[in-house]
Amino acid sequence: MSSQESLSHYRVLARKYRPNFFKEVVGQYPFVEMIQNALSQPKIPGGILLTGTRGIGKTTLARLIAKTLTCHKLDNQRSISPLEPCGLCASCQSCSLDTHLDIQEIDAASHTGVDDIRGLLESCHYRSLSGASYRVYIIDEVHMLSKSAFNALLKTLEEPPLHVSFIFATTEAHKIPKTIISRCQQFYLRRLEDQELKSYLKTICLKENISCQDAVYDLLVQHAEGSIRDAFSLLERAILLAGKELKESVIRKMLGLPQYAQVHETLRLLGKQDISALLVHVQQLYYEGVDPRRLLEQIAQGLYRIVLEQFSARNRSQEDWASLTSYFGISDITALWQCIVQGFEELEKSMFPFISLEMLLIRMAHMKSLPNLEHILDVWSGHALSQAQISDSNVQSDSSDKKSDRKKRWPVKKIFVTFFIF
Ligand SMILES: [Zn+2]
């Protein structure tokens, strides 16, 4: 296989692994089962609404529903359980090729007007062209339709022809008129869990004979944020870049992330408050292509790892974060975390993200040199105690009273410290 063929081979991975059956849909149990049950009923819902965040498989499920409704083998036996399209009949095959005459798919984001919907609704009244039992209309991003388009749609949804089914997909169900929603059977799809995405990517890599470090799966899953489409897209980019061997160092570069050692060094210099060396170091990272926002994310994650080293026996990283625990106490990390949260907002709004990052790091290093509240209270407590001792010696009170005074002050300090930290 030439390199060009190899590239095109991997570009179609998403299509290659697109589910052909309900049982192949990843991470949407029990919603898939509910959809199968709804389709098994003698009366099919005139409108099906699939809602959920981006990239979790709404359009894929809509196509599977359309495939099931038009499958010739299921014409008179949709009550079988679990319901699946046969995948072999002429109808199923044209579904797989996206050439089915009775399945019409429109993107409401680019067809928002009433004329677009009217044209579609007029064809509802004709019998199917392929001999399938149903004509299916998939309207993606349906919330983008205009008010008049929704009104036109509503009339048909109130009394849909028996051989017609509408499938709507949207990320923003709250923008759809209630009159439309009430005439649909609604299914809420969910964001995939990290572990589900990770095992899915592992399965794909195994099938494609791709060697992938475990840390790479974690990075891809972390950046996909529960979206199977994004996870797939990232995996394809990684394969195009690195071939059949996916190493963490290469994928970090692809994602604009600094390497672990670079994040470690950033935190070490921050912990030492060596601002000059810190600025030289982050400038070097910037020239190497590290995105300022990504670096800040990694600094936040590094601080989180340092906390885990100090307080949790679970989820400890194999990387060496323990060596940084001497630089950062819990009150340091808490204060720096607040600073980072504000820093993300500043970087988002900034015209000069790198300069904003530099200013933020200077602020963080400076903040670390400030005495924390616990220290201030220690000083204050010692000062107050010495004042009390002078006063006590004047009245010649006994030593047991001094001890009880001191004991009374400590809880106040602890309450202040606890309040400040949490
Ligand atoms: Zn079929």
Q: Say whether both 82 and 115 belong to one domain.
A: yes
Last residue of a domain, one of 188, 206, 240: 188
Residues 216-261: pLDDT tens digits? 999 999 889 899 999 999 999 999 898 889 999 899 888 888 888 8
Question: Residue 402 sits in which domain range?
Answer: 373-421
- Measure 150 CA to ligand 1 centroid, in angstroms: 32
* CATH number of the CATH domain containing 334: 1.20.272.10
Q: What confidence score (pLDDT) does residue 168 get?
A: 96
| pLDDT tens digits, one per residue of 406-416 | 444 444 444 44
The answer to whether residue 381 sits within a structural domain is yes
Give yes or no for a contact between 48 and 165, defined as CB atoms under 8 angstroms apart.
yes
The alpha carbon of 179 and the centre of ligand 1 are apart by a number of angstroms equal to: 34
* HSE-CB for 177 with a 13 A CA cutoff: 14
Let me know whether 138 and 51 are in one domain.
yes
| CATH assignment at residue 225 | 1.10.8.60
Residue pLDDT, tens place only, 141-188: 999 999 999 999 998 998 888 899 999 999 999 999 999 999 999 999
State in Å: Cα 132 to ligand 1 middle.
10
pLDDT of amino acid 371: 62
Q: Are residues 323 and 299 in the same domain?
A: yes
CA of 45 to the centre of ligand 1 (A): 20
Ligand 1 centroid–CA 120 distance in Å is: 25
Mean pLDDT score of the chain, rounded to an integer? 84
Least confident among 192-206, 211-225, 311-325, 355-369 = 311-325
Residue 289 inside a domain? The answer is yes
Q: Identify the burial level of 280 via C-beta atoms within 10 angstroms of its C-beta, where 0-12 means exposed, 13-18 middle and 19 or more buried.
A: exposed
DSSP assignment of 205-262: HHHTT-EE-HHHHHHHHHHHTT-HHHHHHHHHHHHHHHTTEE-HHHHHHHTTPPPHHH
Of 339, 342, 341, 410, which Cα lies nearest the Cα of 374? Answer: 410
CA 116–ligand 1 middle distance (angstroms): 30
Residues 121, 48 within the same domain: yes
pLDDT tens for 280-303 read 999 999 998 888 998 999 999 899
Distance 72 CA to ligand 1 centre (A): 5
How many domains, the chain? 4
Ligand 1 centroid to residue 68 C-alpha, Å? 7
- Give residue 394's pLDDT: 56
Tell me whether residue 21 is in a domain. no
pLDDT (0 to 100) of residue 35:
93
- pLDDT of amino acid 309: 84
Ligand 1 mean position, distance from CA 206 (Å): 29
Residue 16 domain-assigned?
no
Residues 104 and 218 in one domain: no
The rounded Å distance from CA 406 to ligand 1 centre is 82
Give residue 370's pLDDT: 64
Q: Which of 188, 219, 241 is the last residue of a domain?
A: 188
Q: Are residues 290 and 340 in the same domain?
A: yes
10-50 pLDDT, tens digit each: 557 778 899 999 999 998 888 999 999 999 988 888 899 99
User: Does residue 35 share a domain with residue 138?
Assistant: yes
What pLDDT, in 10s, does the model give residues 302-347? 999 888 888 766 555 566 788 888 888 888 898 999 999 999 999 9
Distance from the alpha carbon of residue 174 to the mean position of ligand 1, in angstroms: 35
pLDDT level of residue 386 (50, 70, 90 thresholds): low
Could you tell me if 281 and 333 lie in one domain? yes
pLDDT band per the 50, 70, 90 thresholds, residue 372? low
Question: Residue 407: its pLDDT value, please?
Answer: 43
What DSSP character marks residue 97?
A: T
Give distance in angstroms: CA of 219 to centre of ligand 1: 39
DSSP 317-385: -SS--GGGTTT--HHHHHHHHHHHHHHHHHHHH-S-HHHHHHHHHHHHHHHHHSPPHHHHHHHHHHHHH
CA 77 to centroid of ligand 1, rounded, Å? 12
Cβ contacts of residue 118 below 8 Å, gap of 6+?
Answer: 152
- With respect to residue 14, please indicate whether it lies within any of the assigned structural domains: no
Whether residue 34 lies inside any domain: the answer is yes
User: How far apart are the CA of 205 and the centre of ligand 1, in A?
Assistant: 29
- Per-residue pLDDT at 84 exceeds 90: yes
For ligand 1, the distance from its centroid to the CA atom of residue 84, given in whole angstroms, is 9
Strand 245-246, strand 211-212: pairing: parallel
- The verdict on 50 and 156 lying in the same domain is yes
Residue 9 has pLDDT above 70, yes or no: no
- Of 254, 269, 297, the position where a domain reaches its end is 254
Do the Cβ atoms of 64 and 21 come closer than 8 Å? yes
Q: How far is the CA of 87 from the centre of ligand 1 (A)?
A: 5
Please indicate, yes or no, whether residues 353 and 205 belong to a single structural domain of this protein: no
- Band the pLDDT of 8: cuts 50, 70, 90: low
What average pLDDT does range 364-393 have in this prediction? 66
Q: Is residue 5 part of a domain?
A: no
Residue type, 214: D
Mean of pLDDT values over 375-382: 67
Residue 150, token pair as written in the block: 């929704």
Task: Indicate which CATH number applies to the domain containing 79.
Answer: 3.40.50.300
How far does residue 94's CA lie from ligand 1's centre (Å)? 10
CA–centroid distance, residue 88 to ligand 1 (Å): 5
Asked if 346 and 398 sit in the same domain, the reply is no
Assess if residue 11 is contained within a domain.
no
Instruction: Let me know whether 164 and 214 are in one domain.
Output: no
